[in-house]
Amino acid sequence: MTYQEFVIKMQNRLNYRQKQSGNMYSVSADTVEKIQASYYGLLISVSTISDAKWGINLKPYYFEFLVSEVSMDDMVDRIDQGICHEIEHLPKYDLSNIKDYEYVKNHLGLQVINMEKNQEFLKNIPYTQIADLALVYRIFIDQNICALINNNMLKRYGISKEQLHSDAISHDQREKPCFIKKMEEVLKELLKKILQDKEMPKEKREEMKNKLAKVENDPPLQMYIAGIDGVYGASVIARPDFLEKATQLMGGDFYVIPSSIHEVIILKDKHQGSIREIEETIWEENMLNVSEEDFLSNNLYHYDSSDHIFETAAGYEQRMKNGPEMLM
């Protein structure tokens, strides 16, 4: 049985079960469009809430079905129970508000994503290019629930992309203060939090204590983590308040390491080590420790504080070789 056949069987069985038990939801086999991680799976529609839809990637279930003795009926039971649990715990929000731009402009947020990996997706949504990245716009219903603004929504609001961008930047700067923290301070906080686990094995606890001691005793890393309290913190690279704050802290130009869509690492322009070495480290870290959904870029970036240009480090290097005429 192929994966596509498995998805169709699940669609048919789940819909049949719902017809027998009360039509709480319906499912359709479809491509679920997501930033950086679109997939073919099931799209769930809740019968009583017209705007409540979400996708389920069935690949983990499919692989389990292939390698284990789990029956199709048992698999249907598990997925059905999971969907019903999600429906029972859906937050109660009035989603009709997102049709009103007066409401929307006070709930805007930003997200920066990889342009190359999202070329098809970006055809249907307003975005602003930043170097080789794309800044997209979201409506935050609360801190954890948000909707991506698409071209149809923008048309319905009757505004330009430029106004959307301006409103989103203004709201983000006003309501979501950016932070810039020393790398060693973040590591200390993380290790101390891990050590609060009273059930941690003795060997693991000693290992964490040694790491904490090393961080406390080693020379400062001269690196900083930047973002916001919440998701999509790497979008600070689009904010003038962050760029100004980072420029003052760094004493001028600085490099930006895109650690994920949720935060970035900044370091002084005079940092020791070549651009190629840093980019090799970024690539390795992304391969080993960053999920596909959280991936931002394998490139190193540079901010020119004099000319106010955010660009790839390679682009900056080339621009400096070509001379000032490149700015003309």
Q: What are the pLDDT digits (tens) for 296-316?
A: 999 999 999 999 999 999 999
Structure confidence at residue 230 as a pLDDT band (50, 70, 90): confident
Instruction: With both helix axes pointing from N to C terminus, report the angle between 202-217 and 183-194 in degrees, rounded to the nearest 10.
Output: 160
Residue whose structure tokens are 């059905």: 80
Structure confidence at residue 214 as a pLDDT band (50, 70, 90): confident
**pLDDT, position 273:** 61
**pLDDT, position 270:** 74
Instruction: Report CA-CA distances (Å) from 38 to 35, 56, 108, 125, 160.
Output: 7, 11, 23, 15, 27
- Domain end call among 160, 175, 190: 175
> What's the whole-number average pLDDT of the chain?
87
Q: Which token pair is 187?
A: 């590591």
Q: What are the pLDDT digits (tens) for 257-300?
A: 999 999 999 998 876 567 788 888 898 888 888 888 899 999 99
Same domain, 183 and 291: yes
Chain-centroid distance of CA 201 in Å reads: 33
Same domain, 121 and 249: no
Residue 222 has pLDDT above 90, yes or no: no
- Domain end call among 88, 113, 145: 88
**pLDDT, position 69:** 82
Structural domain count, the chain: 3
Structure confidence at residue 101 as a pLDDT band (50, 70, 90): very high
**pLDDT, position 328:** 45
Structure confidence at residue 45 as a pLDDT band (50, 70, 90): confident
**Residue 23 belongs to what domain range?**
3-88
Contact status, residue 294 vs residue 285, Cβ threshold 8 Å: no
Instruction: With both helix axes pointing from N to C terminus, report the angle between 72-88 and 3-21 in degrees, rounded to the nearest 10.
Output: 60
Same domain, 107 and 234: no
Same domain, 116 and 223: no
Tell me the whole-structure pTM to 2 decimals: 0.79
Residue 325 has pLDDT above 80, yes or no: no
Residue whose structure tokens are 């017809």: 19
Q: What is the mean pLDDT of residues 71-92?
A: 85
Same domain, 171 and 203: no
Which spans in 176-267 are helix H?
183-194, 202-217, 240-250
Which candidate, 75, 36, 92, 28, places its Cα nearest to that of 56?
A: 28
Contact status, residue 76 vs residue 105, Cβ threshold 8 Å: no
Same domain, 118 and 166: yes
Q: Which token pair is 263?
A: 């935060």
79-117 exposure pattern, b = at least 16 Cβ within 10 A, e = fewer: bbeebeeebeeeeeeeeeebeebeebbebbbbbbbbbeb
- Domain end call among 65, 88, 111: 88
